[in-house]
């Protein structure tokens, strides 16, 4: 019972990070009908920027209270610029090209980002500096630490903020209009290119925060971390129904739960044949299962015939 | 008729040049380069297989190397003493199936995986296939890395070694053979084996391209809705393309395992998939000559980089700042982006493909074509 509760806590924390990243996929998909493969790498760049600027500032003797917000702002700005650049260079010129073209540039962008990151930050794991005493609280036999609590609260707050932006501002209305019909939106005076750029930047800002959360949660960052994370967040977006914001949040949390419960119990279920090192396989199985049984996702509309 | 005669002569010249290639390479550059040429042939085979999926049917497969891995492990398991160590009760001496039996088996197993992956995915939009194959490529590595416990099936990260060499008509290709008084070292023999297989893949691709199936694939690639309105069974044909690509990858994998004598999960990383994709995109999706050109260029690139970039950096900065491996990947990624933006139909575009992707440089095709022939 303690294990169950513990896995649920871990799953929810991890799931809230997936949800943040999944929102980036789903926002772009909703508006452009495009899978932004490079999104996972933006998360990685965000994590790396936070880590390296934070370590540098702590090294200069700047107190953590000041260093953390500054480095987070730096990472968010950097990632927003990156997101803008990716859209501008790799996707915008190909908006009317055949489907295959932007998919290929997307994979190209993620390879470039991965290798640039490796050249800049090296192949080693970077560890997250200890900023404050990370107290663990226990209840009902399970433990949760301060970082996990902060991650969960922050993720929920950001998601709530995003919902407000999308549903209650002019910008959000423009985004929804483009998602519904790009040409009609343009005729109504929406600056389509500008809104698309802003969407990429919003998604990238959330990716930067997610990068911070992942590296804080595991205490590590690595140039290759964006790849699997991106794949899982995409799975979360598909699980919830890609293009649907609430779906991405639900999908993220669910995927986090499935993964942590799966990893916790796979040993018992398979009689010890598979261990928790198969954790990364669950997301993939979920992806296949969703595509087989409910390709539109839990909250999505039917997508199958939109060729 | 005259043109026909001329093309026959050209073909004969090409065949002779290819037959002499290992000897020429050996004489000019040394034995290690013959091995590099062998690997280039393997990559060309892989690229031609992927070309069926990406080039003809327009499906993006980002985990192609996974099928190659499946084929390689098929032969590694059945053609090495590994299973004897893992299951001494069942296989006291290992399985040691002959290569020529395993080859079709490897192709079928890889094709089976292709169908398993493709069947749920291909009824949806193309993007899903890309992401599912991307995931599959990674998952297969997790399994290969971890299936050494509790039952040692794949020997984990250490990989499987001592795989039987390929033998043709009872003659092992792993030792120097003397034919008509000429010595054929192992690398030369494997070159001819790979050459024969590449020729076979080229032949099959050519026939497919001009068949009813090939035309249906191109119709699907250009406009799936229109194709299905014309009565084409889009889902099954896409599945066929995907499975055929997978089978070709599996067969190449078995050849790789026999040639190398050793397989381990790290040979099958995402980067390899990207490299093969890059060959297809760079050369020209859907065009056999283009894909071969892309394969040659990119298979030789790492060697060129190793011989140029490292000494250049040593000379300029006194140390190696950027290792050739990551520079290579950086170039691949950049090539994918730049090609799609400026020359989406590739260096040697196929005619249909060019019209479709809207590259508007009519003069360039002839000049590039002349330069390579």
ipTM, 2 dp? 0.86
CB-CB contact of A41 with A113 (8 Å): yes
Confidence of residue B371 (pLDDT cuts 50, 70, 90): very low
Confidence of residue A208 (pLDDT cuts 50, 70, 90): very high
The answer to whether the Cβ–Cβ distance between B337 and A105 falls below 8 Å is yes
Closest C-alpha among B136, B70, B154, B149 to residue A277: B149
pLDDT per residue over B83-118, tens digit each?
A: 777 676 666 666 778 888 888 999 999 999 999 888
C-alpha to C-alpha distance for A262 and A274, rounded to whole angstroms: 11
Question: CA nearest B54 in A: which residue?
Answer: A100
Structure-token pair, residue A272: 């010890």
Give B171's DSSP letter. E
| Rg of chain A (C-alpha set) | 19
Confidence of residue B133 (pLDDT cuts 50, 70, 90): confident
**Please, which residues have CB within 8 angstroms of residue A19's CB and are 6 or more apart in sequence?**
A155, A159, A236, A248, A249, A250, A251, A252, A253, A256
Give A88's DSSP letter. I
C-alpha to C-alpha distance for A247 and A61, rounded to whole angstroms: 43
CB-CB contact of A91 with B323 (8 Å): no
Q: Which residues of B touch A276 (CB under 8 A)?
A: none
Closest Cα of chain A to B12: distance in Å?
A: 37
The answer to whether the Cβ–Cβ distance between B120 and A283 falls below 8 Å is no
CB-CB contact of B193 with B251 (8 Å): no
Confidence of residue B312 (pLDDT cuts 50, 70, 90): confident
B51 touches chain A (CB under 8 A): no
Buried b (16+ CB within 10 A) or exposed e, B339-359: bbbebbbbbbbbebbbebbeb
Closest Cα of chain B to A153: distance in Å?
A: 30
Q: Give rounded-to-5 percent helix, strand, coil for chain B.
A: 75, 5, 25
Q: Which residue has the higher pLDDT, A24 or B21?
A: A24
Percent of chain A with pLDDT over 90: 48
The answer to whether the Cβ–Cβ distance between A119 and B322 falls below 8 Å is yes
Q: Which residues of A touch B224 (CB under 8 A)?
A: 307
- Test the B interface: residue of A40, A86, A112 with most B CBs within 10 Å: A112
Per the listing, tokens 């190209």 go with A108
Mean pLDDT computed over A208-234: 90
The pLDDT value recorded for residue A122 is 85
Per the listing, tokens 């088996």 go with B105
Closest Cα of chain A to B60: distance in Å?
A: 7
- Test the B interface: residue of A36, A37, A93, A104 with most B CBs within 10 Å: A104
Confidence (pTM): 0.85
Sequence-separated contacts (24+) of A298-301 with Cβ below 8 Å: A298/A239, A298/A240, A298/A241, A298/A247, A298/A250, A298/A251, A298/A254, A299/A240, A299/A241, A299/A244, A299/A246, A299/A247, A299/A250, A300/A240, A300/A241, A300/A242, A300/A243, A300/A244, A300/A247, A301/A241, A301/A243, A301/A244
The answer to whether the Cβ–Cβ distance between A119 and B332 falls below 8 Å is no
CB-CB contact of B296 with A64 (8 Å): no
Going from N- to C-terminal start, the domains of chain B cover 2-372
Q: Which residues of B touch A103 (CB under 8 A)?
A: 60, 126-127, 130
Question: CA nearest A102 in B: which residue?
Answer: B340
pLDDT per residue over A114-139, tens digit each?
A: 999 998 888 888 888 887 777 888 87
**Please, which residues have CB within 8 angstroms of residue A183's CB and are 6 or more apart in sequence?**
none
For chain A, where are the alpha helices, taking DSSP H only?
Answer: 2-32, 39-59, 64-86, 100-121, 146-168, 170-180, 182-187, 192-218, 225-240, 245-269, 279-293
pLDDT per residue over B240-265, tens digit each?
A: 999 999 999 999 999 999 888 888 88
pLDDT per residue over A124-183, tens digit each?
A: 888 888 877 778 888 777 888 888 999 999 999 999 999 999 999 999 999 999 988 888
Q: Which residues of B touch A275 (CB under 8 A)?
A: 146, 149
Question: CA nearest A305 in B: which residue?
Answer: B124
Mean pLDDT computed over B68-73: 92
B342 touches chain A (CB under 8 A): no
The answer to whether the Cβ–Cβ distance between A104 and B132 falls below 8 Å is no
The answer to whether the Cβ–Cβ distance between A89 and B274 falls below 8 Å is no
The pLDDT value recorded for residue B97 is 81
The pLDDT value recorded for residue B367 is 36
Mean pLDDT computed over A39-54: 94
Structure-token pair, residue A38: 């490079």
Q: Which residues of A touch B332 (CB under 8 A)?
A: 108, 111
CB-CB contact of B70 with B109 (8 Å): yes
Residue A215 phi, psi dihedral angles, 5° rounding: -70, -30
Closest Cα of chain B to A281: distance in Å?
A: 6
CB-CB contact of B156 with B146 (8 Å): yes
In residues, how long is chain B?
A: 373
Question: CA nearest A304 in B: which residue?
Answer: B124
Mean pLDDT computed over A93-118: 88
* CATH code for the structural domain at B2-372: 1.10.3470
The pLDDT value recorded for residue B3 is 63
Percent of chain B with pLDDT over 70: 88
Q: What is the C-alpha end-to-end distance of chain B, expressed in Å?
A: 21
C-alpha to C-alpha distance for B252 and B103, rounded to whole angstroms: 9
The answer to whether the Cβ–Cβ distance between B336 and A107 falls below 8 Å is yes
Q: Which of A188-197, B302-311, B353-362 has the highest mean pLDDT?
A: A188-197
| Rg of chain B (C-alpha set) | 21
Closest Cα of chain A to B310: distance in Å?
A: 15
């Amino acid at each position: 019972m303690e294990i169950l509760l513990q896995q649920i806590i871990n799953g929810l924390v991890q799931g809230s990070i997936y949800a943040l990243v999944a929102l980036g996929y789903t926002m772009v998909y909703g508006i452009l009908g495009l899978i932004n493969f490079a999104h996972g790498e933006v998360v990685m760049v965000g994590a790396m920027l936070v880590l390296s600027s934070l370590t540098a500032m702590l090294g200069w003797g700047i107190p953590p209270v000041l260093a953390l917000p500054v480095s987070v702002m730096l990472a968010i700005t950097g990632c927003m610029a990156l997101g803008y650049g990716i859209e501008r260079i790799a996707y915008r010129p190909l908006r009317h090209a055949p489907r295959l073209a932007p998919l290929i540039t997307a994979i190209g962008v993620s390879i470039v980002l991965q290798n640039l990151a490796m050249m800049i930050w090296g192949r080693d794991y970077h560890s997250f500096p200890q900023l404050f005493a990370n107290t663990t609280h226990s209840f009902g036999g399970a433990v949760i630490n301060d970082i996990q609590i902060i991650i969960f609260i922050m993720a929920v707050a950001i998601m709530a903020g995003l919902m407000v932006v999308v549903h209650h501002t002019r910008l959000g209305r423009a985004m929804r209009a483009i998602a519904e019909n790009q040409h009609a939106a343009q005729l109504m005076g929406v600056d389509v290119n500008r809104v698309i750029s802003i969407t990429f930047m919003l998604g990238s800002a959330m990716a930067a925060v997610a990068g911070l959360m992942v590296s804080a949660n595991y205490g590590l960052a690595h140039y290759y971390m964006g790849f699997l994370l991106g794949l899982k967040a995409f799975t979360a977006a598909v699980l919830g129904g890609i293009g649907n914001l609430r779906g991405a949040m639900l999908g993220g949390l669910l995927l986090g739960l499935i993964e942590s419960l799966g990893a916790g119990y796979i040993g018992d279920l398979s009689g010890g044949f598979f261990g928790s090192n198969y954790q990364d396989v669950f997301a993939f199985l979920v992806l296949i299962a969703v595509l087989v049984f409910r390709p539109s996702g839990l909250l999505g509309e039917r997508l199958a015939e939109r060729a | 008729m005259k043109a026909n005669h001329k093309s026959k002569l050209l073909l004969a010249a090409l065949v002779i040049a290819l037959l002499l290639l290992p000897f020429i390479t050996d004489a000019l550059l040394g034995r290690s380069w013959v091995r590099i040429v062998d690997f280039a042939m393997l990559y060309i085979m892989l690229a031609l297989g992927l070309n069926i999926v990406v080039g003809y049917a327009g499906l993006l497969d980002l985990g192609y190397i996974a099928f190659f891995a499946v084929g390689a492990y098929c032969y590694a398991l059945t053609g090495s003493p590994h299973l004897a160590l893992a299951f001494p009760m069942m296989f006291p001496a290992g399985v040691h199936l002959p290569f020529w039996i395993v080859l079709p088996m490897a192709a079928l197993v890889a094709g089976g995986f292709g169908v398993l992956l493709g069947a749920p995915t291909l009824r949806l939009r193309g993007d899903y296939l890309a992401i599912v194959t991307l995931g599959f490529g990674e998952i297969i590595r997790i399994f290969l890395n971890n299936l050494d416990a509790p039952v040692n099936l794949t020997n984990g990260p250490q990989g499987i070694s001592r795989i039987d060499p390929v033998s043709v008509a009872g003659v092992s290709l792993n030792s120097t053979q003397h034919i008509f008084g000429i010595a054929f070292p192992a690398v030369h023999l494997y070159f001819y084996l790979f050459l024969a297989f590449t020729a076979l893949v080229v032949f099959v691709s050519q026939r497919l391209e001009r068949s009813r199936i090939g035309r249906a694939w191109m119709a699907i690639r250009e406009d799936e809705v229109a194709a299905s309105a014309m009565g084409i069974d889009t889902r099954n044909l896409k599945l066929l393309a995907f499975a055929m690509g997978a089978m070709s990858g599996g067969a190449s994998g078995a050849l790789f395992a026999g040639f190398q004598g050793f397989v381990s999960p790290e040979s099958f990383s995402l980067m390899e998939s990207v490299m093969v994709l890059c060959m297809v995109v760079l050369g020209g999706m859907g065009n056999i000559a283009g894909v071969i050109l892309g394969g040659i260029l990119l298979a030789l690139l790492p060697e060129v980089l190793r011989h140029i970039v490292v000494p250049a950096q040593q000379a300029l900065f006194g140390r190696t700042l950027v290792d050739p491996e990551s520079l290579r990947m950086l170039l691949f990624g950049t090539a994918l982006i730049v090609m799609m933006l400026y020359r989406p139909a590739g260096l040697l575009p196929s005619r249909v493909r060019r019209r479709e992707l809207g590259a508007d440089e009519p003069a360039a095709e002839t000049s590039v074509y002349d330069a390579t022939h």
